[in-house]
Structure 1
Amino acid sequence: MGFLDWLRGGNNRPAEDHAISAGYSFFFGGTTSGRPVTERSAMQMTAVYSCVRILAEAIAGLPLHVYRQGTDGSNVKALDHPLYRLLHDEPNPEMTSFVFRETLMTHLLLWGNAFAQVLRNGLDEVIGLYPLMPNRMTVGRDEQGRLYYEYQRTWDEPAGRFETVRLSPHEVLHIPGLGFDGLVGYSPIAMAKNAIGLAQATEEYGASFFANGAAPGGVLEHPGTIKDPARVRESWQATFGGARNGNKIAVLEEGMKYTPISVSPEQAQFLETRKFQINEIARIFRIPPHMIGDLEKSSFSNIEQQSLEFVKYTLDPWVIRFEQAITKTLLNPREKPTLFVKFNLEGLLRGDYVSRMNGYAVARQNGWMSANDIRELENLDRIDPEAGGDLYLVNGNMLPLNLAGAYANTQPTDDGEPQTDETEPTSEPDGQQLTDSESMSDERFLRRTRL
């Protein structure tokens, strides 16, 4: 069997089938640092683990609803649709919606693909969703050009059988990541194997450095000839090697001396290399460094903006992938014109308390949000509509343009037509206008100042 046959999943399929294994990324194990990198070994890096956990928990924690579009253009939650409960509460009896979406997102970030088996009843309604391991899935086309999915079951699964199962696209919810053919996504871990391998190598070096007592290696020099150098080396290592023996005082006999020969960690820029690799891994997943504990270039003035950019430029593309894949696979053609699936990102886009309150005040005063609209966003109880909770108010100083200016000073006549008040202001006998209330009687002052 040739390399291409192995990459396509073996030679046990018809020659006319063309398949690509979704678990191909295990081939990219070797790195220039000498450290083998796989999806599971990469998760042992704290930076990789943090990035994957942040994204997976963010997608899993977002509210996910099925909406129905009304004839008047309004969107209401389709609580009566069978898919609503599966996506919002329990996709299967063994998992909650949070765990299900967290698992799929973890698969996407490590393998570049997420798969779930779709179970349907006789009415073609979705009744269950079960995640499938991407490294056991193969995507291909048959001799008619139709897509198919082959899944390798193993003994550790609930069915307890080792067999290959072929599924149709109608039976698989497939969410692909970034790829070249639009069918299978590429693993971010495989694409960034050298960066992750370097981070693993520096971590291993640091562990070895402290395991050897934080003392550099060196040479024991003796003026004469040592009969058993191995015994001397082992005795030295047993006495002074290891982190617990780092502060012991060495006593050298017979003119023997110790000469270090290794480069110090400062000269090798060990700490700088580790710090840079943390930013490198954060760059792979497009995570702001402050979210994985690197606050060197973060401040109170820019962390909020970075968090908003994380929602817009990092989470939003993943959310769109989920929404469109779910709509494409789980909704039938008759439902797609009126039903759609949507994540709610409003909670993550909210600013601090003062900014939210100022925004609500503008919306309330300009009439495009009611008190109940605002209270729903803040998870507060609704106000009784009879008490004005659903009223939309507008400031009284806002008028249409044709009512502004001189036209506003006109008074309507009996027939409803406006009439301009042409009364001239009263002047004093000497021709001078009164300037204050002290120069006129109380009656004249009230008449002049009344609106």
Structure 2
Amino acid sequence: MAWNFGFGRRNADIPAETRESIENPTVPVSAENFMAFFGINSVTLPSVTVDSAMTVPAVWAAVTFLSRTLAAIPRHAYRDSKDGAKRISGKLATVVNQAPNDTIGAFAFWQWFWGQVFTHGRGLAYIERTPQGVDSLWPMDPTKTTLKRIGLKVVYQYEGRDYDAADVIDVCFMRRSCGLKHYGPVAQASKAIQLAIAMNDYGSNFFAGGGVPPLALKGPLPANGEALKRAKEDIKRAVDAAKGAGESVFPIPPGYELTPVGLDPAKGQMIEARRFQVEEIARAYQLPPVFLQDLSRATFSNAEQQDLHLVKHLIGQWAKALEDEMNLKLFGRGGNRYIEHNLDGLLRGDFKTRMEGWGLAIQNGIRTPDEVREKENLPLKGGEADKLHIQGATVPLGQQQKPQPANDNQEDEAKAA
């Protein structure tokens, strides 16, 4: 039998130790609990709303860049025919690409629409119809819209009225498993945005204080509270007077010493941390960092590749999301009419590349000269300019010209020469 030799009692008589420790399985171990166990409470970061998130330059740049880029892309309505796709004119073309309603232009409307997608996570627009067809598109505030499912149908409740899903254009950043609710980029990236806001606040407070960190006063401090308060006020007045006069030296009583409390921004790697937050926010939007003005790792070659990445893996996908939604809600399932973005509009600012592309399209029989002139808003020429062209040196295999054998007269002339 085991005995406790130090106390003369058996181990069974000693009460079990209940001191909390990280070895105790009843104490949960996580980042927060581990720090709290040692008496370190987590700092409460500022709460994130869409308005507060937009005060972060990286978030502001991401939302404005994506919304403006997608709003600037031309979108047209087409009808399939036996001669190929024909662009639809009239009221539908006006609603889709010029003015969705009588109060707002297309660019402003679609910038607002995409701005809702990239902040709240959802863009909504109501389709107003008349017996003649689609008449207007009207914005619906996603923060004031409630979705509910009635049987197999989805209804949008907005400002006391129910709207059928067939009359609402709805583009989500990402849908939840229920199919009704959604994820928003600001909410999902709230931790990264919180950290960016906290660093902004710390930096502004630090430099607003003249770059002077919190100070600790060491020395023969007065014994009572009032004397201590006066000593602190004297030091504060000296620091404020030095900052106000633009002086870097200020006097303190002999025998005292001021030491900074905490880390200054340089030692805390604040610049590196803020740059990393730009990358984190770029990840939340799947956006190449160069488009958030982060050129720290940009070169001529990789910036060009990021430009291609932007069109193929981001802008093109969001354009497809809106096209599918508009095609379904405007024309129903099936049919021969459809909406399509013209991503060539992204090359409008690159004159050289645009002209080289048009030249190849004409030379290879892909576009007629008049089609190219129409894209460039130039008057049509008609006649030969309305026909497909191809270079004469390009012919089908088997139809190339064969060299003709020389006749006798040519041989005699050659010998005489």
TM-score with structure 1 length normalisation?
0.74
Once the two structures are superposed, residues 169-206 of structure 1 have per-residue CA deviations (whole angstroms, 9 ceiling, x without a partner) of 13322222212334333111111111111111111111
Q: 5 Å matches for 1:163-178? A: 164-178=160-174
Matched to 1:217, the amino acid is: P
Q: 5 Å matches for 1:371-450? A: 371-377=369-375, 379=376, 381-386=378-383, 388-404=384-400, 408-410=402-404, 444-445=413-414
Separation in structure 2 between the aligned mates of residue 93 and residue 447 of structure 1, nearest angstrom = 86
User: In structure 1, what is the equivalent of residue 79 of structure 2?
Assistant: 68
1:109 equivalent in alignment to 2:118: yes
Is 1:382–1:389's contact at 8 Å kept on the other side of the alignment?
Answer: no
Matched to 1:45, the amino acid is: V
Q: Secondary structure at the match of 1:228?
A: helix
User: In structure 1, what is the equivalent of residue 175 of structure 2?
Assistant: 179
Separation in structure 2 between the aligned mates of residue 262 and residue 221 of structure 1, nearest angstrom = 15
1:234 equivalent in alignment to 2:233: yes
User: In structure 2, what is the equivalent of residue 34 of structure 1?
Assistant: 45
Is 1:60–1:99's contact at 8 Å kept on the other side of the alignment?
Answer: yes
Q: 5 Å matches for 1:72-151? A: 72=83, 74-80=84-90, 82-121=91-130, 123=131, 125-142=133-150, 144-151=151-158
Is 1:63–1:343's contact at 8 Å kept on the other side of the alignment?
Answer: yes
User: In structure 2, what is the equivalent of residue 280 of structure 1?
Assistant: 280
Q: Secondary structure at the match of 1:402?
A: coil
Aligned-pair Cα RMSD in Å: 2.9
Unaligned runs of 5+ in 1: 1-30, 154-163, 411-419, 427-442
Q: Secondary structure at the match of 1:170?
A: helix
Q: 5 Å matches for 1:192-271? A: 192-225=189-222, 227-241=226-240, 244=244, 247-271=247-271
1:308, CA displacement in angstroms? 2.2
1:111, CA displacement in angstroms? 1.3
Is 1:409–1:421's contact at 8 Å kept on the other side of the alignment?
Answer: no
Q: Secondary structure at the match of 2:217?
A: strand
Q: Secondary structure at the match of 2:216?
A: strand
1:213, CA displacement in angstroms? 1.5
Matched to 2:388, the amino acid is: Y
Q: 1:277 to 1:205 in 2, by over 3 A?
A: same
Q: 1:44 to 1:216 in 2, by over 3 A?
A: same
Is 1:304–1:351's contact at 8 Å kept on the other side of the alignment?
Answer: no
Matched to 2:218, the amino acid is: E
Is 2:125–2:170's contact at 8 Å kept on the other side of the alignment?
Answer: yes
Is 1:223–1:255's contact at 8 Å kept on the other side of the alignment?
Answer: yes
Q: 1:331 to 1:244 in 2, by over 3 A?
A: farther
1:289, CA displacement in angstroms? 1.8
Q: 1:83 to 1:371 in 2, by over 3 A?
A: closer
Is 1:33–1:194's contact at 8 Å kept on the other side of the alignment?
Answer: no
User: In structure 2, what is the equivalent of residue 345 of structure 1?
Assistant: 343
Once the two structures are superposed, residues 252-297 of structure 1 have per-residue CA deviations (whole angstroms, 9 ceiling, x without a partner) of 1243221223222222111100011011111211222222221111
User: In structure 2, what is the equivalent of residue 365 of structure 1?
Assistant: 363
Separation in structure 2 between the aligned mates of residue 425 and residue 323 of structure 1, nearest angstrom = 67
User: In structure 2, what is the equivalent of residue 55 of structure 1?
Assistant: 66
Greater displacement, 359-368 / 59-68? 359-368
Q: Secondary structure at the match of 1:106?
A: helix
Q: Secondary structure at the match of 1:395?
A: coil
Q: 1:99 to 1:273 in 2, by over 3 A?
A: same
Unaligned runs of 5+ in 2: 1-41
Once the two structures are superposed, residues 288-323 of structure 1 have per-residue CA deviations (whole angstroms, 9 ceiling, x without a partner) of 222222111112333233222211111111111111
1:84, CA displacement in angstroms? 2.0
Q: 1:33 to 1:279 in 2, by over 3 A?
A: farther
1:104, CA displacement in angstroms? 0.9
User: In structure 2, what is the equivalent of residue 15 of structure 1?
Assistant: none
Is 2:79–2:338's contact at 8 Å kept on the other side of the alignment?
Answer: yes
Greater displacement, 299-308 / 350-359? 350-359
1:235, CA displacement in angstroms? 4.0
Q: Secondary structure at the match of 1:301?
A: helix
1:145, CA displacement in angstroms? 3.4
User: In structure 2, what is the equivalent of residue 293 of structure 1?
Assistant: 293
Separation in structure 1 between the aligned mates of residue 274 and residue 64 of structure 2, nearest angstrom = 20
